[in-house]
Structure 1
Amino acid sequence: MDYNNHNTTLRTNKHLNFEKRFYLEKRIVLGDSITAISRALGRSRTTIYTELKRGTVI
């Protein structure tokens, strides 16, 4: 029996690196929207919200 729908591959890019966190912090201080920041970084809005909730960005 073969399983075609397996999800055992490793997830990469789960969080932002230091440079992107710094960029995110600067844009938040300037008052930019989460949507605009996520488009600029090429990440989903959920990732940005998660980083803010984690407290890695002030």
Structure 2
Amino acid sequence: MSYEHNFGHKKTPGTARSSFTFLAPFFKVVAIRFKSRLFKFKKKLESLQNKIYFTNLWE
């Protein structure tokens, strides 16, 4: 029996909890990737702001 088939028939809190623990690592990976992307974006934004600031300063 596959995981999906088992999940479809038993609708108990235990099954829902086990499905959550099954998906928890996946959510962690997504969160970590999102954070790193956000961090990279912030760095890009900061460098862009610095460039704009310096070009305005020199004009």
Q: Using structure 1 for the length normalisation, give the TM-score.
A: 0.26
Name the structure where helix makes up a greater proportion of residues.
2
Q: Using structure 2 for the length normalisation, give the TM-score.
A: 0.26
Q: Whose relative contact order is higher, 1 or 2, with alpha carbons under 8 Å and at least 6 apart? A: 1
